[in-house]
């Protein structure tokens, strides 16, 4: 799957803080948070590098998309993945243009992608 992504030479906690601020600046809120590494450790006793999934949602985009096609709810919220790699953190955001193909949703997907690209640009600038 194509993603909007970057790798930042900072620890996950610092990058997560920057990602949350950049998402907020672009009108997205974080609805869910999954600490995959902690869950795997707790449930399976497996140690792995830190990996978090933030479920981000922009209410305006969600409402517009759901009005066009209620099955868009299957794609909500938009996953933002933060993973420790080497000495830094890889950030990958699901590209809405890949998730919402078709003419009816193209404008919303393009607009959302522009704002998510702005999130990546903002954290790269920190």
pLDDT digits (tens, 9 = 90+) for 89-105: 999 999 999 998 789 99
The pTM of the full predicted model, rounded to 2 decimals, is 0.93
Name all domains of the chain by residue range, CATH numbers in brackets.
Answer: 3-125 (3.30.310.70)
Residue-wise pLDDT for 25-83, tens only, equals 999 999 999 999 999 999 999 999 999 999 999 999 999 999 999 999 999 999 999 99
Which distant-in-sequence residues (6+ apart) come within 8 Å of 14 by Cβ? 89
Which of 100, 109, 8, 2 has the alpha carbon at shortest distance from 58?
109
- 126 CB contacts (<8 Å, ≥6 apart)? 8, 18
**Could you read off the pLDDT of 12-36 as tens digits, one per residue?**
999 999 999 999 999 999 999 999 9
Distance from the Cα of residue 35 to its chain's centroid = 14
């Amino acid at each position: 799957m194509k993603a909007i992504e970057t790798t930042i030479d900072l620890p996950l906690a610092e990058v997560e803080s920057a990602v949350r601020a950049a998402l907020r600046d672009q009108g997205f809120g974080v609805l869910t948070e999954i600490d995959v590494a902690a869950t795997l450790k707790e449930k399976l006793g497996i140690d792995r590098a830190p990996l978090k999934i933030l479920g981000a949602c922009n209410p305006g985009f969600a409402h517009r998309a759901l009005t066009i096609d209620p099955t868009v709810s299957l794609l909500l919220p938009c996953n933002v993945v933060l993973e420790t790699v080497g000495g830094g953190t890889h950030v990958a955001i699901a590209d809405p243009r890949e998730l919402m193909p078709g003419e009816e949703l193209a404008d919303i997907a393009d607009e959302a992608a522009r704002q998510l690209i702005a999130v990546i640009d903002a954290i790269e600038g920190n």
